[in-house]
A and B are shown apart, each in its own frame.
Chain A
Amino acid sequence: KAGVTQTPRYLIKTRGQQVTLSCSPISGHRSVSWYQQTPGQGLQFLFEYFSETQRNKGNFPGRFSGRQFSNSRSEMNVSTLELGDSALYLCASSFQNLGRETQYFGPGTRLLVL
């Protein structure tokens, strides 16, 4: 099976712009989670989607949003970019949204905000 894929892999934006990141989960997986990784804050949970519904949300401002499509692919959007949004954004998928399931991570999208 193909792994989790994320596009684009690298992105450079300027402050005030918006950005959309895409994540394609492993075939058959219906749960997709997003994480932000920065040197200062480490790995922080953004949100989780299961069957097109947001099931859980981390402590991020409303500028961060996401959605999931019927084929389980997910997108996350960041509006009005700030310098502090520069980070590696990781997507992870699992078959369901159960705690016992292992999440498989994608390679990440590295976002640089200038």
Chain B
Amino acid sequence: AQTVTQSQPEMSVQEAETVTLSCTYDTSESDYYLFWYKQPPSRQMILVIRQEAYKQQNATENRFSVNFQKAAKSFSLKISDSQLGDAAMYFCAYRRTTSNTGNQFYFGTGTSLTVIP
């Protein structure tokens, strides 16, 4: 079974600084997808960034980027120039590729990010 591990229950960062959230996963498959979702206090899950395992290039979305190490099964999220609005719970998620038996997310336990003004 696939498992996703986020070893940092809580992190804090000074406003305008950079922070990296860690995520590791366990899978025997070679092709899959990885996601980072953000859940602010409103509880709305918002997609931050996604990465296709077959792509070597790390995904980037504005201030958010990932460091995808396929061999190490590591998928960390870097937030640059942190803003107060970045404060939220961040979830790392794994999803299998096409399957006619369905697809589901496997989520990590989350990292609560605090941004200090």
Contacts and interface: CB of A to CB of B under 8 A. Distances in A.
Given A100-B33, A105-B44, A107-B44, A45 B98 contact: no
Interface string A81-114: 0000000101010000111101111111010000
Contacts, number: 64
A17 interface: no
Interface stretch (A19-27, A48-56, A63-71, A72-80): A48-56
B97 A99 contact: yes
A99 B45 CA distance: 18
B75 to A, nearest CB: 15
Which secondary structure characterizes the binding site on chain A? strand
A58 interface: yes
Contacts of B97: 98-100
B8 to A, nearest CB: 14
Given A99-B33, A99-B99, A107-B43, 11 more contacts: A42-B109, A43-B105, A56-B102, A98-B103, A99-B32, A99-B98, A100-B97, A105-B37, A107-B42, A107-B44, A110-B43
23 contacts: A43-B105, A43-B107, A48-B102, A48-B104, A90-B45, A92-B45, A92-B105, A97-B102, A99-B97, A99-B98, A99-B99, A99-B103, A100-B97, A100-B98, A102-B47, A103-B105, A105-B37, A105-B44, A105-B46, A107-B43, A108-B43, A108-B44, A110-B43
